[in-house]
């Protein structure tokens, strides 16, 4: 059965596909401003990262602390105001490593200092452009392969253990 989804969430155990409830803005902003412990996802499909087994449920509550990264399937050029904010900004090349038992690293481009606690534009989540994932085997699963083709990923700062910033 094919289900059209707008959002994906990666945790240590699952890739979760579905629609985040009451999403009023772009995913990065929603996650950054979210004030509850659990994010509600409608029409969720959980794909086990080890076995590729699937679980479907009409409503799933995901602990915000479990989120490693997220993505929404919307036109990335659809926010001209955000694009204007970053005109002329030189992005830094980084590689980030997550805490937990999933040995994933993501390389890509970030706005300088976006991963720091004192970043004024973000609180808890930041965006990596052109992410390249390593330490993750998508097997032959089409949904897991999506993770290797994302134009950007929204990353949870609190789940990072190491950051290599190649520009400092």
For every one of its 168 residues, what pLDDT tens digit does the chain have, with 9 covering 90 and above? 444 569 999 999 999 999 999 888 889 999 999 999 999 999 999 999 989 999 999 999 999 999 999 999 875 555 554 454 456 678 999 999 999 888 889 999 999 999 999 998 899 999 999 999 998 788 889 999 999 999 999 999 999 999 999 997
Within-domain flag for 88: yes
Residue 84 corresponds to which tokens in the numbers above? 């204007």
User: Could you tell me if 85 and 157 lie in one domain?
Assistant: yes
pTM value is 0.88
How far from 160 is each of 27, 43, 116, 163, CA to CA, in Å?
19, 28, 11, 7
> Could you tell me if 109 and 54 lie in one domain?
no
Last residue in a domain, options 68, 102, 120: 68
Q: Is residue 75 part of a domain?
A: no
Q: Looking at the structure, tell me whether residues 92 and 51 fall in a common domain.
A: no
Q: Are residues 124 and 145 in the same domain?
A: yes
Residue 101 lies in a domain: yes
Residue 158, domain extent: 80-165
Strand order in 14-20's β-sheet?
54-63, 38-48, 14-20, 7-10, 69-72, 152-156, 125-134, 105-110, 92-98, 160-165
Q: Pick the last residue of a domain from 41, 68, 95.
A: 68
Q: Which two tokens stand for residue 29?
A: 């902003």
In a domain, 73, yes or no: no
């Amino acid at each position: 059965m094919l289900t059209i989804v707008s959002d994906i969430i990666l945790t240590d155990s699952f890739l979760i596909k579905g629609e985040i409830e009451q999403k009023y803005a772009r995913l990065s902003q929603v996650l950054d401003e979210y004030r509850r412990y659990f994010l509600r996802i409608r029409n969720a499909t959980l794909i086990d990262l080890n076995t590729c087994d699937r679980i479907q449920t009409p409503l799933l509550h995901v602990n915000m602390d479990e989120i490693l990264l997220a993505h929404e399937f919307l036109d990335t050029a659809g926010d001209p105001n955000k694009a204007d904010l970053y005109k002329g900004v030189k992005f830094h090349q980084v590689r980030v490593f997550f805490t937990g038992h999933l040995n994933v690293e993501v390389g890509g481009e970030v706005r300088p200092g976006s991963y720091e606690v004192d970043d004024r534009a973000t609180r808890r989540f930041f965006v990596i452009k052109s992410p390249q994932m390593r330490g993750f085997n998508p097997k032959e699963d089409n949904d897991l392969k999506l993770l290797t083709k994302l134009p950007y990923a929204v990353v949870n700062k609190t789940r990072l253990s190491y950051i290599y910033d190649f520009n400092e």
